Chains A and B, each alone.
Chain A
Amino acid sequence: MLKRLLIRQTLSFLFLMLLAPAIASAQLKVVATTEDLGSLASEIGGDRVSVTSLAKGYQDPHFVDPKPSFILAVSRADLLIVVGRELEVGWLSPLLTSSRNSKVQPGSKGYLDASLTVRILEIPTGQITRAMGDVHPLGNPHYWLEPGNGRRMAQAIRDKLGELSPNDKTLFAQRYADFDQRLAAAEKRWDAAMAPYKGTKIVTYHRSWPNFMERFGLEVMGYVEPKPGIPPSPAHTIDLIGEMKRQGAKLIVVEPYFDLRTPQAIANQASGKVLVLAPSVGGSKEAGDYIKLFDYDIGLLSGTLKQLTGK
Chain B
Amino acid sequence: MRIVPSVCLAAVAAGLLVLPWSAAAQSFLAPPPAGRSSQPDTTALQQQIDQLKKEFGERIAALEAKLAEAQVAAPTPAPPPEPAAPAQPSAASGAKFFNPDTAVIGTFLGTGGRNAINPSPALEMPESEVSFQAIVDPYMRADFYLAFGEAGVELEEGFATLTALPGNLQAKAGKMRAAFGKVNTLHNHVLPWADRPLVINNLVGGEEGISDAGVSVARLIPIGNVFFEATGQVFRGDAAEGELYKSSKPGDLSYVGHLRGYVDLTESTNLDLGASYSQGHNAAGIVADVDIGRFTTELFGVNATFRWRPLTRAIYRQFVARTEYIRSHRDQFDGVQKADGFYVSGDYQFARRWWLGGRLDQSGRADDASLLDRGQSFLLTFMPTEFSKVRGQYRRTAYADGPTAHEFLMQFQFAIGAHGAHPF
Interface residues of A (CB under 8 A from B): 56, 58-60, 63-69, 71-72, 75-76, 86, 89-91, 93-94, 97-98, 100, 102, 105-107, 116-120, 123, 130, 134, 137-139, 148, 151-152, 155, 158, 173, 176-177, 180, 229-231, 256-259
Contact = CB atoms under 8 A, between A and B. Distances in A.
Contacts of A119: 82-83, 86
Given A75-B220, A120-B86, A63 B422 contact: yes
Interface in B225-264: 225, 227, 229, 260, 262-264
Q: Which of B227, B262, B267 has the most chain A CB atoms closer than 10 A to its own CB?
A: B227
B161 A97 contact: yes
Given A117-B79, A177-B75, 12 more contacts: A59-B311, A68-B260, A71-B227, A72-B225, A76-B222, A91-B422, A94-B421, A102-B164, A105-B138, A117-B84, A123-B90, A139-B86
Contact of A66 (B84, B91, B227, B424): B424
Contact of A67 (B88, B90, B262, B386): B262
Interface in B340-355: 352-353
Contacts of B138: 102, 105, 107
Interface in B104-145: 135, 138, 141
B225 A105 contact: no
B163 A102 contact: yes
Given A90-B421, A230-B385, A69 B264 contact: yes
A161 B110 CA distance: 56
Contact of B424 (A65, A116, A148, A152): A65
A59 B312 contact: yes
B77 interface: yes
Contacts of B420: 90
The 6 closest A-B pairs by CB, nearest first: A68-B262, A68-B227, A59-B311, A102-B164, A90-B422, A120-B86
A58 B76 contact: no
A196 B262 CA distance: 52
19 contacts: A58-B312, A59-B311, A63-B315, A68-B272, A72-B220, A75-B222, A94-B421, A100-B168, A105-B163, A117-B85, A119-B83, A119-B86, A130-B385, A130-B416, A137-B89, A152-B79, A173-B75, A230-B385, A257-B315
A38 to B, nearest CB: 15
A60 B352 CA distance: 13
A69 B297 CA distance: 35
A84 to B, nearest CB: 10
B314 A257 contact: yes
Nearest to A93: B421
A56 B220 CA distance: 25
B387 A130 contact: yes
B313 interface: yes
A93 B135 CA distance: 11
Nearest to A256: B312
Nearest to A148: B80
A63 B307 CA distance: 15
A109 B6 CA distance: 73
B84 A69 contact: no
Contacts of B416: 130
Contacts, number: 125
Interface size class on chain B is 35 or more
Contacts of B353: 231
Contact of A71 (B141, B163, B220, B422): B220
A90 B387 CA distance: 12
A97 B419 contact: no
B369 interface: no
A195 B216 CA distance: 62
Contacts of A94: 421, 424
Given A119-B86, A173-B75, A66 B421 contact: yes
A257 B312 contact: yes
A138 B82 contact: no
B165 interface: yes
B309 interface: yes
A100 B220 contact: yes
A63 B315 CA distance: 7
B364 to A, nearest CB: 32
Contacts of B267: 56
Contacts of B84: 117
A220 B90 CA distance: 26
Nearest to B417: A130
Interface in B133-186: 135, 138, 141, 161, 163-165, 168-170
B270 interface: yes
Interface in B47-106: 75-77, 79-80, 82-86, 88-91
A155 to B, nearest CB: 6
Contact of B314 (A59, A76, A118, A180): A59
Contacts of A89: 419
Given A90-B421, A138-B91, A257-B315, A69 B86 contact: no
Nearest to B143: A97
A67 B76 contact: no
B215 to A, nearest CB: 16
Given A86-B419, A100-B170, A107-B138, A69 B315 contact: no
A91 B416 CA distance: 18
B83 A67 contact: no
B163 A72 contact: no
B319 interface: no
Contact of A177 (B76, B168, B263): B76
Nearest to B165: A100
Contact of B89 (A138, A180, A231): A138
A98 B221 CA distance: 12
A249 to B, nearest CB: 25
Contacts of B262: 67-69
Contacts of A106: 135
A205 B212 CA distance: 47
Nearest to A136: B419
